[in-house]
Amino acid sequence: MAALETGQTPAERIELEIVRHKLAALTREMGAVVANSAQTWEIAEQRDFALAIADRHGELAAIDNPLQLGSTTFALRAALDAFRFDMKEGDVVALNDPHRGGTHVQDLTLVAPYVVDDAIAGYLVARGHMPDLGGVHAGGHHPAAREVWAEGVPITPVKLRRHDRPVRDVITTIALNSRRPEALLGNLDALLAALRLGRRRGDELVGAHGIARVRAALDHAQGYAERRLRAALRGWADGGYDGERALDHDGAGGGPVHVRVRAEVDGDRLRLDFSGSDAERASFVNSAFGNTVDHALGALLALVDDDVPANGGVLRAVELRCAEGRVVNPRRPAAVGWGPEHCGREVAEACAAALRQACGDGGGAGVGAIASPRPLVTFRPRARRHERTSLTRLQTGGCSAADGRDGWGSPHLLSRAELPSVEQWEAEHGRRIVALRQLPDTAGAGRWRGAPAVETVVELTGEELLTLCACGREIPVAGTAGGGDGGPAAVVLVEDGDGGGARDAPATVVEQPAAPGRIAIAVGGGGGWGDPHERDAELVLADVLDGIVTATAAEAVYGVVIAGGEVDEAATTRARAQREERNDGR
C-alpha cells in the first residue's frame, strides 16, 4: 500500500520500522516459549516449529522460521477458507493436512485470530512437530507408505478451542490418534502458550502504537521485504535458467527421484516452475507443495543477500508453480512423510543450481550447495512400539564451501537444528555413541573446500528394530565453480564377532531386527568451490596437518606436495604447472 508509505513523516516511518522489528522479535519470543516448554526433541532440539504473525488478509508479516514461510502461509489460508467468517476471539483452529498447505502430518498448525475492538486485526500462527499421529509406525516415517494414511491422520481445519474453552471431542480425538498422547498434549499446550503470549504482546503493541500503526506495520513489513527482494532480482540477468537435483532412490525400490525447476527472471519478478520434475512416487519421498515452496524460498533467500526478511512480501515478488501429480506437488492421498527432508532438500538444491546462473557475479553466485543429504536412521526396541530413537538428529557437518570461505559445520538450510550433546544423549538413551568424528578426504576439494563428512557411530544391542532410508551415497553433494563433489554419505552396519565385519546397509529397511554391533552414519561431505589448484597451499597444509586431507590427496587433488610437515614449494609449483600443460595439451 504505497498510500501508507507516501505522506509519512520520517518519524512515522521510523515508528513503522520499530513495530516491524518488534513483530519479528515477537515471533522469536513466541518461539522461545515453544522451544522451552515443549517436551519432545523434535521441537526442543531440532527446533522443528514455526511462529508467525499475519495481517487480517492472512499474509505473513513475520515468521521466526524462514524455512516454513510457504507452508505456514498456505496452512493459514486453508484455515481461513474453512472459518474465515467464523473466527471469534478465543477460537483456535488446528490443522495438519499435508494436502492443504501442510508439510507432513506431524506438523500441526494452530491459528488464532487477533482481535481488537471486536474486529480481526490479524492472525497468530503456531506450528510444531508432533511426536506421533498414528499411521503404521511411531513417528510416521514409513518408507513403504503409499498413502498419507499410512503416515498418520490428516486433520482438516477443526476448532480446537472456542471462546477460550477447549473443544473436548476434537482434542481427545487428536490425542487418541497419537501413540504418545501426553507428549502431544504437552506440545499443544506449548503452542497455545505461545499464542497467548502473542496476544498479550499484541495488546501491548496496540497500547503503545495504536491499532492503525500496528495494522500499517503488518503491511509495511511485507512491503519492505518485497522491495528488498525485487531490488535484488533487478540485479539479476533476465532469462530462463534450469536447475536439477536428484535423490538416490525413492525408498520403495524406485530409482533416482529428479526434481527440476525452470526459473524465469523478468526484471524484478521471479517465476519458479517445478512441472518438469518426476511424477509423484508411491513412497514417502513426495514433497507436499507447501514444503516445496518452503525449500524453494529457502534457497532464494540464501542466494540473495540474506537479511531480506522472510514474510508475505517475498511471496508477492515470486510466483511458484507446479503441475499436479509431480513428486513436488503430489495429489491427495499421496504419502509425503519424508518430504521435509527429502526430496525437500533436492528442491532447494535444484533452485540454487538454477538461480546461481541468474545471479551473474552477484553475491549468490558465490554460494555453494546449501543442503546435504542425510540418511534417515531410526530404531525402536522390539518390545516397545511407541518408542523411536532417531540417529538422524546426531548427523551433522557437510556444509559446502562458498566463494571466500571453506565450508564448516552444517549446511545453511539445516543449521536451525542443534546437535545434541553426546553426554546428554547417552544419558537419555542409555546407549553409547562410539564415535562422532570428521572423516579425511571427504570434504569436496576446491579453492574453498567443503566441510568434511562427519561420521557418527552408535552401538546396537541386537534388540532394535531398524528403519532406515539411505541417501547421498550414489549422488554426493555437488561442488561449485570447478570445485569437487563432497564425499558420499554412508550407512554402514558393523556386526560384532568374527563372520561379522562392516557392510553397507540396504537402501531401505523397514522394522528389521538389527544384529548386535554398531551402525556408522555419515552425511556427505560439503562440496568445494573453485579450482583446487587455486587453493592456497598453506591452507592445504593446514588441512593435512589437521587430518582433513591426506598427503596423497593433497598432491593428487590440490597439486600440493607436502614434505616433512612443510609445503614443498618447488614440487607444488611443478605439480600445478604440469596440470596446466596437460590442460593446454587438450
Partner 1 sequence: MAVDPITAEIVRSSMESIAAEVVQTMVRTAVSPMFNEAHDCSAGVFYYDGEEVSLVSRADAVPVHIFASLTSVEACLEFFHGDLAEGDVLLVCDPFYGGTHLGDYTVVKPIFIDGQPIFFPSVRAHMLDVGGPVPGGNSPHSTEVWQEGFRFCPLKLHEQGIVRQEIWAWLKANNRLADELEADVAAMIGGCTVGEQRLRDLCARYGVEVVKEALTQVFDASERSLRSQIAAWPDGRYRAESLVDSDYAGGADLPIRVELTIDGDELTADFTGTAAQSPGLVNSVPGNTLSYLYGVFAALCPDVPINSGFFRPLRAVLPPGSVVNPRPPAATAGATVVVGCDVGEAIMKACEQFAPELVGTATIDLCDFWSFGVDARSGAYSIHYDYLCSPCCTGGTAGADGWGAWSPLFCALDLASIEMTEIQYPELYRQAEYTTDSAAPGQWRGSPAYAMQREAYQAAGTVEVTCSVQALRHPLHGYAGGRPGAGNYAIMRHGSDDELVVTEIAFMEPTADGERILWQSGGGGGWGDPLAREPARVLDDVLDELVSPEGARHDYGVVIDPAAMAVDEEATAALRRELRAARAAEPDWIALGRRRTLERTGLLAAPEVAHAV
Q: Could you say whether residue 157 binds partner 1 (CB under 8 A)?
A: yes
Q: Could you say whether residue 563 binds partner 1 (CB under 8 A)?
A: no
Q: Could you say whether residue 280 binds partner 1 (CB under 8 A)?
A: no
The cell for 452 is 568434511
Whether 355 contacts 303, CB under 8 Å: yes
What 3-state class would DSSP assign to 18?
helix
Instruction: Report the phi/psi class of residue 267: left, alpha or beta, with left for phi > 0 and alpha for psi in -120 to 50.
Output: left
Q: Could you say whether residue 135 binds partner 1 (CB under 8 A)?
A: yes
Binds partner 1 (CB under 8 A): choice among 47, 77, 161, 179: 179
Q: Could you say whether residue 169 binds partner 1 (CB under 8 A)?
A: yes
Q: Could you say whether residue 464 binds partner 1 (CB under 8 A)?
A: no
Q: Which is nearer to partner 1, 159 or 260 (CB)?
A: 159
- How far apart CA 189 and CA 501 sit, in angstroms, is 47
Binds partner 1 (CB under 8 A): choice among 87, 153, 190, 544: 153
Minimum Å gap between C-beta 149 and partner 1 is 5
C-alpha 483 chain-centroid distance: 24
How many residues does this entry show for the chain?
A: 586
The cell for 46 is 531440532
Minimum Å gap between C-beta 287 and partner 1 is 19
Q: Could you say whether residue 134 binds partner 1 (CB under 8 A)?
A: yes
Total binding residues toward partner 1, as defined by CB under 8 A: 28
Q: Could you say whether residue 225 binds partner 1 (CB under 8 A)?
A: no
Binding mask 382-401 for partner 1 (x = CB under 8 A): ---x----------------
CA distances from residue 210 to 14, 252, 444 in whole angstroms, order as listed = 15, 56, 54
Minimum Å gap between C-beta 95 and partner 1 is 9
- How far apart CA 107 and CA 72 sit, in angstroms, is 10
Q: Could you say whether residue 282 binds partner 1 (CB under 8 A)?
A: no
Q: Could you say whether residue 168 binds partner 1 (CB under 8 A)?
A: yes
Closest to 450 measured CA to CA, from 439, 460, 435: 439
Minimum Å gap between C-beta 138 and partner 1 is 9
Whether 460 contacts 516, CB under 8 Å: yes
- How far apart CA 293 and CA 537 sit, in angstroms, is 41
Q: Could you say whether residue 362 binds partner 1 (CB under 8 A)?
A: no
Closest to 267 measured CA to CA, from 242, 296, 237: 237
- How far apart CA 156 and CA 166 sit, in angstroms, is 17
Binds partner 1 (CB under 8 A): choice among 4, 32, 82, 185: 82
Q: Which is nearer to partner 1, 91 or 294 (CB)?
A: 91
Binding mask 88-117 for partner 1 (x = CB under 8 A): ---------x--------------------
Whether 83 contacts 162, CB under 8 Å: no
Q: Could you say whether residue 156 binds partner 1 (CB under 8 A)?
A: yes
Helix/strand/coil (H, E, C) string of 247-281? ECCCCCCCCCEEEEEEEEEECCEEEEECCCCCECC
- How far apart CA 400 and CA 30 sit, in angstroms, is 32
Q: Which is nearer to partner 1, 79 or 261 (CB)?
A: 79
Burial label for 174, CB within 10 Å (0-12, 13-18, 19+), is buried
Q: Which is nearer to partner 1, 36 or 156 (CB)?
A: 156
Binds partner 1 (CB under 8 A): choice among 73, 177, 438, 467: 177
Binding mask 33-72 for partner 1 (x = CB under 8 A): ----------------------------------------
- How far apart CA 494 and CA 504 sit, in angstroms, is 9
- Bridge partners of 92, per DSSP, are 161
Q: Could you say whether residue 288 binds partner 1 (CB under 8 A)?
A: no
Which residues make up the interface to partner 1 (CB under 8 A)? 82-83, 97, 134-136, 142, 145, 147, 149-150, 153-159, 168-170, 172-173, 176-177, 179, 333, 385
